[in-house]
Amino acid sequence: MALWLCLAAIIVSIALGWKFKFNTGILAMSFAFIIGVFAMGLRVSDIIRLWPTNIVFFLIAISMFFTYATTNGTMDILGKKMLYALNGNAKLIPWVIALVSALVAFLGAGPSTPAIVGPIAFTMGLSAGLHPVLIAVVVGCATLMGADNPINGFGGVISRTLIGTSGFEEQAFEMAMFVWLNSVIHQLIIITIAYIVFKAYKAEKVQVVKPEAFNQVQRKTVGLILVAFVFMVVPPILNSWIKNVDFIRTLAQFSQPQVIMMIAAVLAMGMKLGDEKEIIKKLPMNSILMIAGVAILIGVATAAGLVETMTEFLSTQVPTFMIPGMLIVMAAFLSFFSSGTAVVCPLMYPLVPGLAVSTGLNPIMLFSVIFIGAMSAALSPFSTGGAMVIGGCPDPEVKEKLTNWMIIVASVVIPVIAVIAATIGIFSLFTI
């Protein structure tokens, strides 16, 4: 009974959040306390302990620093400079837009990248005769490529943390990197198919305007971003190459993204790269509360046997070769109405250890198909990312048509391509 109540609570939280624009996490948290205490006999303190401290700290630390770069215009100028380097070669516009979107997202703009790159991308692409769906797909998919990395990316960090809490703590970073690479492969497949279908190779040359130079604050921000990335990336690599050196091992343990980003935020504050009070106001508390609240409800559901029940169903009722596709369909369906990172991944990642054991399937592949399915609705007009992508289109008539087109692309085309790719084994290339 408690399990069915938890499942109903998850569905109701998603439905009410989607219908009335409530924060799904707050609803889920309330249900978690009601069900946990009255239906399962849990103590309130036990439920409070389900608060996902690691994920919340990750998100606050990363957002604290990179909001400086977004707010002071560094990401905007960076995107314009990269597009200007193309020199108007329209046939390459989709690929350069993809590169710019991925890099800007990777360098810290994250999910806000469509708001930065989108207007420039649509202006250039539409003037060159590119189909608006192609432009939207390129911006959206490339943003996921950059923003979902497990070093500092919103989705990648959550994926990495969830993998660790699912029983793969020691291999979490390596597995998260492979999940990200599978996601990148998937996004590249989507972009390539769109490029061919909409005949972008026939586009004509366009004129671009030279962007303004970085101001002093923006130059300092770029330098700080580069230094932060060196500290996040180099020590772990050195530690994997050079064994049994205490200083390198200690430095690698210290150089976790959340630590470096928090220190970088302090430096940004000291260097006056932005108004600290304004930066704090722009922290993604809505997303943080959504992730935390749903995690607590899923924790209660897990205590009621959710993971064992879903694992048994998939391993006994679904043919093994269909499981990857089924996971994608389930994740894509849920993500169309809720957050892929805040709801779908925390709900479905715990299924992986049991499925891997009972079916013999590659756990990296299982994590990957869940993640890819959860991200497939990122281009939906009903999602924040999809809305920002469409919002970047300057033509009102095209924007209206694009909204309808992207519903089909997000809900049917992208998941179908993902299912085909998973079924033929594309996401099974990496193993540990």
Any domain includes 36: yes
Distance of CA 71 to the CA centre of its chain: 20
Token readout for 53 is 């401290």
Task: Inform me whether the pLDDT recorded for 186 exceeds 90.
Answer: yes
User: pLDDT for 49-97, tens place per residue?
Assistant: 988 887 788 778 877 887 888 788 887 787 677 667 766 677 888 998 8
CA distance 430 to 397: 44
Task: Inform me whether the pLDDT recorded for 163 exceeds 80.
Answer: yes
Any domain includes 4: yes
Question: Which of 160, 183, 157 lies closest to 171 in space, CA to CA?
Answer: 160
Task: Inform me whether the pLDDT recorded for 376 exceeds 60.
Answer: yes
User: pLDDT for 410-421, tens place per residue?
Assistant: 888 999 999 999
Any domain includes 222: no
Query: For 336-347, what is the mean pLDDT?
Result: 74
Query: For 205-230, what is the mean pLDDT?
Result: 84
Looking at residue 394, its pLDDT comes to: 63
Any domain includes 31: yes
Mean pLDDT of the chain: 83
3-class secondary-structure state, position 25: helix
Contact 134, 96 (CB under 8 A): no
CA distance 137 to 405: 11
Q: What is the pTM of this model?
A: 0.71
Task: Inform me whether the pLDDT recorded for 297 exceeds 90.
Answer: no
Any domain includes 250: no
CA distance 253 to 379: 36
Q: Which domain holds residue 13?
A: 1-49+285-304
Any domain includes 22: yes
User: pLDDT for 382-429, tens place per residue?
Assistant: 566 776 787 777 666 777 788 778 878 888 899 999 999 999 999 998
Provide CB contacts within 8 A for 154, sequence distance 6+: 59, 62, 110, 111, 147, 148, 287, 341
Token readout for 346 is 């925390």
pLDDT class for 217, splitting at 50, 70, 90? very high
Any domain includes 19: yes
Question: Which of 308, 307, 346, 353 lies closest to 168 in space, CA to CA?
Answer: 353
Any domain includes 27: yes
Contact 186, 137 (CB under 8 A): no
Task: Inform me whether the pLDDT recorded for 337 exceeds 60.
Answer: no
Q: Domain total for the chain?
A: 1
Q: Using alpha carbons only, how large is the chain's radius of gyration in Å?
A: 22
Task: Inform me whether the pLDDT recorded for 246 exceeds 90.
Answer: no
Token readout for 429 is 């290339």
Looking at residue 267, its pLDDT comes to: 95
User: pLDDT for 123-157, tens place per residue?
Assistant: 777 767 789 999 999 999 999 998 888 887 778 88
Looking at residue 31, its pLDDT comes to: 93
Task: Inform me whether the pLDDT recorded for 183 exceeds 70.
Answer: yes
